[in-house]
Amino acid sequence: MSSNVIAIDGPAASGKSTVARALSERLGIPYVSTGSLYRALAWKMLNRKLDPAAISAEELAVFLADTSIACRRPEPQAPLDIEIDGVFPGGKLQTAEISAAASKVATYPEVRTWLLDVQRSLAGKTRIVMEGRDIGTAIFPDAKYKFFLTASPEVRAKRRLLQSGRPFDRQTLDTVAREIAARDEQDRSRKTAPLRQAEDAVCLDNSGMDLEQTLQFILETIQRKDILMGKETVLQYRVPYADTDQMGVVYYANYLKYFEMFRTEMLIAAGESYQKMEEHGYSLPVIEAVCRYKSPAHFEDILSVTGCVAECKGVRVRIECRIHRGDTLLAEGYTVHACINRDGRPVRVPATISGLMTEKE
């Protein structure tokens, strides 16, 4: 079973925090900046006059054994925040000194292992946005939604300088951009948990995008994934008089038509279309259809149709479909299709369809 985590990873100043926070507000779900965990440890080390760059293995073991860290709400309605030894350091974690110390702290494998449980304990039934460097690779390799945000060093340098609020010239911009590029190289090549994109993450270079465009892209990607996992209604349909029979209920054969309407919409929602597939020389004739009828539908009922690509083997694909009226399941079933080419010969199901198959919960 995969975790209900929206992982947002990427290099420094790629806009992760801003995007993750805005995303959590839009979706009304919690948000955690995992960098704050490393920052909180760095804050405590500096308070204890320990040097994060030169701490010995013994000192580090004692330090961790003597530390309790959690991600909690300081007050019931407040956002999640980092609590270390019963204290919420909040804004004190955002100084340049803490940033530098945190990047040292993050290089210790013992620290990373120690923080694993804290981070993993945050995943639950409800979705959560988690932002960091290794959420999609090490903390939640099974996260349902993974994004890797990046932008060119110049754009990131500009964002960082604008954030500081101080005026800057071209030379400063170039210097900061060079520093960022060097830091990227260091992060990617470091031995412990190097920064890398998870293979199944959606990479977004947002150099030419503003916050709203980045958010829209992420929201649409999440929605598409939900559709493909059969969690989202793809089609709403008001039953016309023509669909009913003499008993005043939807004629049983029409459900297969609804299944087909669903397949068409699902492909379009996923950025494909059946017509495009045919233009590429593939057809998917139905070779089996199953429908179980649970409860009748009537004239003017509004039907919600959901489903997914459930199985893809060689030349066959099975597509499931469910039809609800409100919370009531009216019918469910599936169709099996054989994939054929223009000559009518069976061929492997194209990646455009097999790629839609998603692990089900």
Please identify which residue in 19, 40, 106, 321 interacts with ligand DC, judged by CB under 6 A: 106
Is 89 a binder of ligand DC (CB under 6 A)? no
CB of 203 to ligand DC, least distance (A): 17
Is 132 a binder of ligand DC (CB under 6 A)? yes
Question: By C-beta, is 34 or 335 nearer to ligand DC?
Answer: 34
Which of 230, 163, 215, 153 lies closest to 8 in space, CA to CA? 215
Question: By C-beta, is 101 or 321 nearer to ligand DC?
Answer: 101
CB of 165 to ligand DC, least distance (A): 18
CB of 187 to ligand DC, least distance (A): 8
Structure tokens at 240: 């016309």
Q: Would you list the DSSP string of 48-94?
A: TT--TTT--HHHHHHHHHT--EEEE-SSTTSPPEEEETTB--GGGGG
Residues in contact with 333: Cβ distance below 8 Å, sequence separation at least 6, in sequence order: 255, 259, 289, 290, 291, 292, 320, 321
Contact region with ligand DC (CB under 6 A), list: 99-107, 143-151, 288-296, 327-335: 99-107
Please identify which residue in 41, 44, 134, 143 interacts with ligand DC, judged by CB under 6 A: 134
Paired residues of 331 in beta bridges = 293, 323
Kindly determine how many residues on this chain lie close enough to bind ligand DC according to the rule CB under 6 A: 14
- Binding to ligand DC by CB under 6 A, coded x per residue (else -) over 143-182, reads ----------------------------------------
Report long-range pairs for 346-349 (Cβ below 8 Å, ≥24 apart): 346/315, 347/282, 347/315, 348/314, 348/315, 349/312, 349/314, 349/315, 349/316, 349/317
- Binding to ligand DC by CB under 6 A, coded x per residue (else -) over 1-40, reads -----------x--------------------xxxx-xx-
Question: By C-beta, is 76 or 165 nearer to ligand DC?
Answer: 165
**Helices 211-228 and 16-27, interaxial angle, to 10°?**
60
Task: Report yes or no: 295 and 329 within 8 Å, Cβ to Cβ.
Answer: yes
How far is Cα 206 from Cα 151, in angstroms, rounded to an integer? 5
Contact region with ligand DC (CB under 6 A), list: 18-26, 49-57, 84-92, 102-110: 102-110
Contacts with ligand DC by CB under 6 A lie at 12, 33-36, 38-39, 99, 102-103, 106, 132-134
